[in-house]
Amino acid sequence: MRKAIGILGGMGAAATCDLFNKIITMTDAKSDQDHIHIFIDCNTNIPDRTKAILGKGEDPVPEIVRSGIRLQSMGANVLVMPCNTAHYFYDRITPFFDVPLLNMLQLTAEAIQKRGIKRIGLLATDGTLQSGVYHAVLAQAGIEAVIPSLSDQASVMDVIYNGIKGANRNIDLGRFYDTIDGLFARGAEILILGCTELPIAFEIYRIDRPAIDPTTVLAAAAIQFVGKPLVARNLAV
């Protein structure tokens, strides 16, 4: 019996579409029937994850769990969650599911480790950085994370929230470029696009800096999990 993927989406909507598109384009398929059966729940009722982590918003876990159970009931054999920040709640979410939820952060750390990279620049939301959830998985893989200063971090949040989530293609990227270049000046070998809006930003704004895209890593893992052949693709954008 063919296995199906369930995309636990809505965090945000554009990131959900980005993962879906990457699964399609990275699957070695020659016909419609060669593609993977995919269920998507773009649940925009899920509260903001960063606000929750910072103690300024509702707990997103109940809605995330509802989405996962809904996808299971539809027939998903594996779940994927295209939101780095939401993985802060991973251990609270997974006990409610009867199928695996692939851990995007862990998969990304493993992909970086295989490339022999020891020092990365981490671009992510305030919630992801302050929770330390990425730092933990990277440290276990022997990888050091370099993060923006508090003032530089504002430029990252601007690109994520005002740029991609806000559907604004005309934001000033000057400070964001300074933030990125500052990470490389401090020894970063490559960037982690540690928010699922950032790979979209790099494409839309044509940002030319070496980076690992966790959405691509997650797409590859999901394709392989359900036993489909993978089109060869570099995991860096």
Contacts of residue 132, Cβ cutoff 8 Å, sequence gap at least 6: none
**What is the rounded CA–CA span in Å between residue 105 and residue 57?**
23
Considering the domain architecture, whether residues 193 and 110 belong to the same structural domain is answered as yes
Burial class (CB in 10 A: 0-12, 13-18, 19+), 165: middle
Domain hosting 139: range is 105-214
Considering the domain architecture, whether residues 37 and 62 belong to the same structural domain is answered as yes
Dihedrals phi, psi of 122, to nearest 5 degrees: -100, 115
Considering the domain architecture, whether residues 230 and 180 belong to the same structural domain is answered as no
pLDDT in tens, 100-122: 999 999 999 999 999 999 999 99
pLDDT(59) > 70: yes
Considering the domain architecture, whether residues 229 and 148 belong to the same structural domain is answered as no
| pLDDT category of residue 206 using cuts at 50, 70 and 90 | very high
Considering the domain architecture, whether residues 96 and 41 belong to the same structural domain is answered as yes
pLDDT(214) > 70: yes
Considering the domain architecture, whether residues 137 and 84 belong to the same structural domain is answered as no
Considering the domain architecture, whether residues 147 and 60 belong to the same structural domain is answered as no
Structural domain count of the chain: 2
Mean pLDDT of 160-178: 92
Strand blocks (E) in 133-199: 144-146, 190-193
Considering the domain architecture, whether residues 73 and 122 belong to the same structural domain is answered as no
At residue 154, the pLDDT reads: 97
CATH number of the domain to which 155 belongs: 3.40.50.1860
| Active site amino acids | 83, 195
Considering the domain architecture, whether residues 127 and 200 belong to the same structural domain is answered as yes
Which residues are registered as beta bridge partners of 145? 120
Considering the domain architecture, whether residues 208 and 226 belong to the same structural domain is answered as no
Contacts of residue 218, Cβ cutoff 8 Å, sequence gap at least 6: 19, 80, 82, 102, 104, 107, 108
Considering the domain architecture, whether residues 23 and 80 belong to the same structural domain is answered as yes
Considering the domain architecture, whether residues 113 and 208 belong to the same structural domain is answered as yes
Dihedrals phi, psi of 224, to nearest 5 degrees: -65, -35
pLDDT in tens, 66-81: 999 999 999 999 999 9
> Does residue 222 contact residue 102 with C-beta atoms inside 8 Å?
yes
Which residues are registered as beta bridge partners of 78? 5
SS3 8: strand
Q: CA–CA distance from 63 to each of 43, 44, 93, 101, 115 (Å)?
A: 8, 9, 10, 15, 36
Amino acid at site 237: V
